[in-house]
Amino acid sequence: MARKRKGEPIHGWIILDKPEGLTSTQALSKVRRLLNAEKAGHGGTLDPAATGILPIALGEATKTVSYAMDGEKTYRFTVRWGERTATDDREGEVIERSDVRPDADAIRAALPAFLGEIEQVPPQFCAIKINGERAYDIAREGDAVDLKSRIVRIDRLELIETPDADTAVLEVDCGKGTYVRSIARDLAERLGTVGHVITLRRLRVGAFTLERAISLDDLAAMEQGAAVERLLLPIETALDDIPALALTEAEAHRLRHGQTVALLTRQDRERLAALHGAVGGDGAVIALFGGKPVALARVEGAEVRPVRVLNL
């Protein structure tokens, strides 16, 4: 006897404004339960102390989570000068102090050094695996973690305000794998002091912004059906930067069954030419039929190969 499905087959994205105090997994579980969704995942972890955009993928949208996680992100964060903590945020114990307090002019003068592709060492307390163990588990045992520097991309780093001598509020647009806690730590060092993050709010993940976000409390107050109808964004929202390829019915049928589609006629070549320049180095496209996504696919020469079939 077939197992009964737990939950409804809902497909698309919900943009959650995650509250402070919940892990991303806990927030995901609450959304899934409130919507009675059969399957769910999230598009990028936020620390429990952080708030803001947590894209929740439902159903077949879970197949596009990696694209959401690769998207550019925007954070607003507050740095407290004069204290460094073990975790580089307010959760850790203070391990170093300084009397130096940089002013706004000094902070602005230091910011350009952090733009572009830079080397960054992740915080000791992070989820990176070392010999199969999470760095934060090793750090909690009191051992120093040997984390290698990595190349990250920062497109914008701006001072928003200096509420007082001890704190500064900044915003950053950054690529995948960037640690805001490391920015705060390294910026403080460049300014001749120490510092740590005391507030962190994510304002954007790729195409997902706060304008379409909802809190857990507001979501809980809505009827399930109304919430899905009003809040659910299409699966392809996470694929905003990926070009679309329109298919014929026969081509869609082949891709849905995991088969390669050959584009060989003159009309086919014109379709490929229209994609030229828009397709990235990996050849990724979203294949559509009748305006609905059929599959994540890859263009290789004159062939379209399915990568993830979307069963809608």
Catalytic positions are 47
DSSP H helices, 54-140, are 65-70, 104-110, 135-140
- The tokens of 154 are what? 């920062």
Which helix (H) or strand (E) is 274 found in, with range? helix 266-275
Euclidean distance between CA atoms 299 and 277, whole angstroms: 12
Euclidean distance between CA atoms 195 and 85, whole angstroms: 8
Angle (deg, nearest 10), helices 24-35 and 224-231: 110
- The tokens of 170 are what? 């900044």
Number of neighbouring beta carbons within 10 Å of residue 213: 20
- DSSP state, residue 193: S
Task: Collapse the DSSP code of 63 into the 3-class scheme (helix H, G, I; strand E, B; otherwise coil) and give the result.
Answer: helix
What residue ranges in 166-301 does DSSP mark as E strands? 167-174, 195-205, 208-209, 244-246, 261-262, 284-289, 292-300
Whether 281 and 272 have beta carbons less than 8 Å apart is answered as: no
Whether 287 and 252 have beta carbons less than 8 Å apart is answered as: yes
